[in-house]
Chains A and B, each alone.
Chain A
Amino acid sequence: MSQGQRIRWELTALAYLAAGIMFFPIFWLFLTGFKSEGEAIAIPPKLIFQPTLESIQEALTRSDYGLHFLNSIISAMGSTALALLLAIPAAYSMAFYPTRRTQGLLLWMISTKMMPPVGVIIPVYLIFRDLRWLDNVWALALIYTVMNLPVVVWTLYAFFREVPHEIMEAARVDGASIPQELLRVLLPLSVPAIASAALLSIILAWNETFWSLNLTSAQASPLSVYVASFKTAEGLFWAKMSAASMIAILPVMVMGWLAQRQLVRGLTFGAIK
């Protein structure tokens, strides 16, 4: 083996080692989710054990788990659908019919994403209280829409700008109206961009914890808040906690794996080429 080959091989081994270390805490969580409560806190830690679905079953069949899971789905999916509905026309307008103000407008939209949530939480909380929107999952979805709108607009805008104008112009010459042009010409072309914007938006909304902790309680709280209720588990219910956490993170982790390429584009707003 030449020296170059050896270095290459060593670097590869190092990359695998890094992957193992970074993933280990997640692996450990998943493992604990398949243990019984006694095994979960056993010292020395048990690597080999009789896996049981008991904790997962228990987590899933608890009546409130279903409610929180549903809340997570409503707030993540609902906010993403609404964000797409608002962002598609906006990105279309800015990409195909830019004016002198377009760039400033786009930058302004992006700048709203850079506003820390604590900067607006107090008035939003008071408004929600007065409207009786506290602990309402649809109201939470509205906040998530606002939170993700800049990311979705940006992702779509960056994609729309690459669509050849000739295609759109041809449709216009053929007498297509704007809704027709959008629905029949642009959207079919944009399925990949819309999918990646949607994935990113779902991931961000699903994992969001500041707004959900402060705006929801028993009825509307998503999984993030439910899982946070395990924070005082000093050696108690670790298997249940792990099972509940595992089910809470698995769906979006898979989405994250699928969206890893678009992640950079969506979260950097084109600051990195």
Chain B
Amino acid sequence: MTYHRVLTRPRPQALRPNSFWLLGPAVLLLIVWTQIPFVLTLYHSFRRFNLLNPERQGFVGFENFASLLTDPIFWTAILNTLVLVGSVLLITVAVGLLLAVLFYQDFPGRALARTLVISPFFVMPVVSALIWKNMLMHPVYGLFAWIAEGLGQRPIDWLATYPMQSIVMMVSWQWIPFAMLLILTGLQSLSKEQLEAAKIDGANAWQEFRYIIVPHLAQTLSVVVMLETIFLLTIFAEIYASTSGGPGLATTTLPYLIYLKAFGEYRIGVAAAGAVFAVILANIVAIFVLRMIGRNLQGGRT
């Protein structure tokens, strides 16, 4: 409300501070290090530029894009990215929803238990890759191998046999807490009266969940899906520290491919073209998130 009041009753100009000096530095920094580099990425995507052979430079039109689009590796990377993001989304939203419902109720020691559940989110991605790759999934010394042997099974070399599934598991473990925390926040804004009324009308626990909680959470869930998509599209460290994109190309995602092209093959032009695709992919989702944030901004206080 305050927002509107100020808008409708502007202060005398003399009393308003010069917002140029207050906002300028922050805006300038963001322009210099995000907008200008992106424009340069666009520029490089139309040029030939190999760091190993820097003399041979020049404008090549859409050649970089064409060489990417006709390269099966690029399509494998796109597919891997979509599989990774899609699977992690499914798992984190489903498990996050269940956990949020569990932690919605009050029970002794809830704060401690919730703290333990969300801890994986604060673990450095490299460290979580090392934990999973070595101590849990290692085919000889790993805990999973030991459990498999105890059950009379042959131990599995997880990262070699099921590389993408293993990465999905690792990344899901890190992002379940994020989904759970957001959904829990959404649940807590659910009105108690509505639930009471449903109980009086004879709704059982499942019906209550299905017809009251889920619809209420629809907006929350869409925010979780969109924000997670944006963050998951940039997953890099987990792959770098566990599989390095392999075996073969099994876990090479778009960010990892761009990294390989730029810093492995030094092909700046092709890498820049890949980066343009990455930005387009992220923006498809970002537009919707920003629209939602904008709506909430106009709706008064947050």
Contact = CB atoms under 8 A, between A and B. Distances in A.
A248 B242 CA distance: 18
A93 interface: yes
For chain A, which range describes its interface: under 10, 10 to 19, 20 to 34, or 35 or more residues? 35 or more
Interface string A225-246: 0011011011100100110010
Contacts of B123: 26, 207, 249, 253
A6 B40 CA distance: 63
Contact of A230 (B103, B130, B182): B130
Interface in B165-192: 173, 176-178, 181-182, 185-186, 189
A13 B185 CA distance: 22
Given A25-B136, A26-B119, A231-B242, A89 B130 contact: no
A195 interface: no
Contact of A22 (B119, B294, B298): B119
Interface SS majority for chain A? helix
A60 interface: no
A37 to B, nearest CB: 11
Interface string B223-254: 10011001001101100111010000000001
Interface in A126-176: 126-127, 142-143, 145-146, 149-150, 153, 158, 161-162, 164-165, 172
B298 A103 contact: yes
B302 A241 contact: no
B293 A8 contact: no
B67 interface: no
Given A8-B105, A165-B2, A257-B115, A123 B298 contact: no
Interface string A168-196: 00001000001000000000000000000
B29 interface: yes
B122 A256 contact: yes
6 contacts: A23-B119, A115-B38, A119-B275, A121-B262, A235-B140, A272-B185
Minimum-distance CB pairs A-B, first 8? A256-B122, A123-B40, A209-B237, A93-B22, A120-B37, A270-B302, A89-B22, A114-B286
